[in-house]
Copies of this chain bind each other. A is one copy, B any other.
Amino acid sequence: MKKLDLLTLGDELLLGLRENGHLHYLGAEFARHGLPLRRNLVVRDEPAEIEAAFRDAWAGADVIITTGGLGPTSDDNTREAVARVLGLPLEFDPSAEAAIIERFARLNRRVTPRDQKQCYRPRGADLLPNRHGTAPGLYLEKDGKILVMLPGPANELRPMFESEVLPRLRLAGILAAEESYLQLRTCGLGESLVEERIRPVVEQHPGLGLAFCAHQGMVDVRIASGGQDFSTDELKVIARQMRDVLGEDFVCCGRHSLAKVVLDELRARESTLAVAESCTGGLLSNAFTDIPGASKVFAGGVVCYTNDAKVQMIDVPEDILMQHGAVSAEAAVAMVTGVAECLGADYALSVTGFAGPGGGDESTPVGTIFLGYASPVGVWSRKVVYSGDRLAVKARAVTTALDWMRRKLLKYKVEDLLAATGTEA
């Protein structure tokens, strides 16, 4: 297998100002395409550091990806450092200049002399067009090795990787034809419980590659061919067996979000959805509206942060807020029925709680959340309590609300089915 190194530029990563999202993204992309990363080297935006790291990578690896340092400012040094190590002259490319002029004209921005820097490429390298920024990427095959240089901003790097880099690497024959692992997404169980649950299946298939990843209340299980012993078809059979033992804790195969799983189910029922949220402050609505085509299902949402907003916008009775407080099962129910009615939606979710750090009292401390769910079958509420900071509590509340709705939808589907065949639930 080819040795693949990722060289990531950026002082801000080494200063802990930002997550190394490129490692996360490119690592997952390459793993999916059967060429896992061997190493990732994060270095500062300094010519000497970049040269040393690149020399090392070029000596040891077959494919080298660099990210960052292609822009117009004085701390963008990757192009120059790499050209020096490879002993290649930098040549001016008029087509790169034309693209920048065209882009800036469209954005009504002025081209500065500095921007010219981005129009140079090491001799023999191809330019990779940048649809979302000024600095083009670079692609070079030399001495039996492949070099790919990508711009730093994620919104430029990712589309360039998908539309320009993957096809070239496929052509070069170094990517697997199909995904070489399968992923099962679960929700509601801890990592060790997931492992215990699927153990009977794992024990039937010695040599199976197995990995777990826990994130935000979900656990992903990845099964891989291990020593190349399992075909994709066999992996699919094994995934099916795991799915069966996981039952309703299984969410989906692959990487769909809970919001997408819920939306797809509602779309299949030709139903609509409304959301009323207080402490999650828009995060729940946003989870749904991140999904392309959400507008077919998602009627709308209300972020009713104050009591007044609850009363005015979705007709929550003032008496309920006075008697039980805004963070109560009663308020969650009034919110969910109110928003469903106002927006004429078939289904609705509500969240009210104290995300912290302020708010809360003895009986309902910070971290207390009430959820409400309305469907054509009925209305439910549920209380959960989370620890952690404000953002963590918001995220956990959204995950729990989505997973709760997913299970309810699943449950009533099964029961409908049983009812239709005349069997008791």
Contact = CB atoms under 8 A, between A and B. Distances in A.
A73 B192 contact: yes
A255 interface: yes
A30 B293 CA distance: 42
Contact of A303 (B41, B152, B285): B285
Interface in A49-104: 49, 52-53, 56, 60, 71-75
Interface in A276-292: 279-290, 292
Contacts of A53: 39
Interface string A37-52: 1111111110001001
Given A195-B74, A210-B75, A302-B313, A40 B41 contact: yes
A36 B14 contact: yes
A190 interface: yes
Contacts of A74: 195, 210
Interface in A130-157: 131-132, 134, 152-153, 155
Interface in A143-199: 152-153, 155, 159, 181, 183, 190-193, 195-196
Contacts of A112: 192-193, 196
A196 to B, nearest CB: 6
A392 interface: yes
Contacts of A16: 23-31
A285 B275 CA distance: 14
Contacts of A131: 387
A57 to B, nearest CB: 11
A108 to B, nearest CB: 11
B38 A14 contact: yes
A293 B279 CA distance: 11
19 contacts: A11-B211, A11-B222, A13-B23, A15-B37, A16-B30, A18-B24, A19-B19, A39-B41, A39-B53, A73-B191, A73-B195, A152-B214, A282-B301, A282-B303, A285-B285, A299-B308, A300-B313, A302-B303, A313-B343
Interface of A: 10-21, 23-31, 36-45, 49, 52-53, 56, 60, 71-75, 109-110, 112, 114-115, 131-132, 134, 152-153, 155, 159, 181, 183, 190-193, 195-196, 210-216, 220, 222, 255, 275, 279-290, 292-295, 298-306, 308-309, 312-313, 342-344, 356-359, 387-392, 394
Given A23-B20, A72-B192, A114-B192, A309 B305 contact: no
Contacts of A28: 15-17
A214 B153 CA distance: 7
So how many copies of this chain end up in the complex? 2
Contacts of A52: 60
Contact of A43 (B39, B294, B392): B39
Given A17-B213, A132-B392, A313-B300, A192 B39 contact: no
A289 B41 CA distance: 36
A289 B359 CA distance: 14
A281 B388 CA distance: 26
A15 B36 contact: yes
Nearest to A37: B14
A158 to B, nearest CB: 9
